[in-house]
Amino acid sequence: MCDDRPATFEQWLAGKLDGLAPGIRAETQRWARTHARDETTVQGYLRAVRPALLAWSASYDHLREVTHADVVAHAELLYGRQRHTTTVALRSLFAWAKKNGVVFANPTRKISTGRRAYPVLQSLAPEEIARTVAVAATPQARLVVAFSAVHAARCGAIRALRLDDVDLANRR
């Protein structure tokens, strides 16, 4: 039996590329398809670059018309994680375009993504700790509270912990 339904990714891609100038649309579509090994990455990257591509589509017909100043101006409108993700995605797009002869020069060259700012973790107030300990009724729950509160263990590390990892004699 032949499945003749259109691929979900292709439908999603067509929707995201709607409204772009034809030259920008065609090359962005080629870029997205070559990176489609991991559709989640493509979707995240395309969501990040779409606002820039829409803005440039109003003035330009092709990716090769986008300048370094255009990329910097767009990046200056963004902050934090959104700026970082957009810059990385634009780098990917223009590096691919340069490699494949779509653009003559990469306008994202020498644009720093900056260091990602991680949020400052705040310690819990004593009453919050007391409430958490009171709710932890089972030994397993108390162990999880101890690992997370005292040793700052992450959820994934606590879930991956096995009895073989515990060395009670050496207190490790």
Three-class secondary structure of residue 33 per DSSP: helix
For the chain, give the mean pLDDT: 86
pLDDT tens figures, 138-165: 888 888 888 887 777 888 888 888 878 8
pLDDT of 15 strictly over 70: yes
pLDDT of 137 strictly over 70: yes
| Residue 148: DSSP 8-state | H
pLDDT of 36 strictly over 70: no
Indicate whether this model's pTM tops 0.85. no
- What's the pLDDT score for residue 6? 65
DSSP 62-128: SGGG--HHHHHHHHHT--HHHHHHHHHHHHHHHHHHHHTTS-SS-TTTT----PPPPPPPPPPPHHH
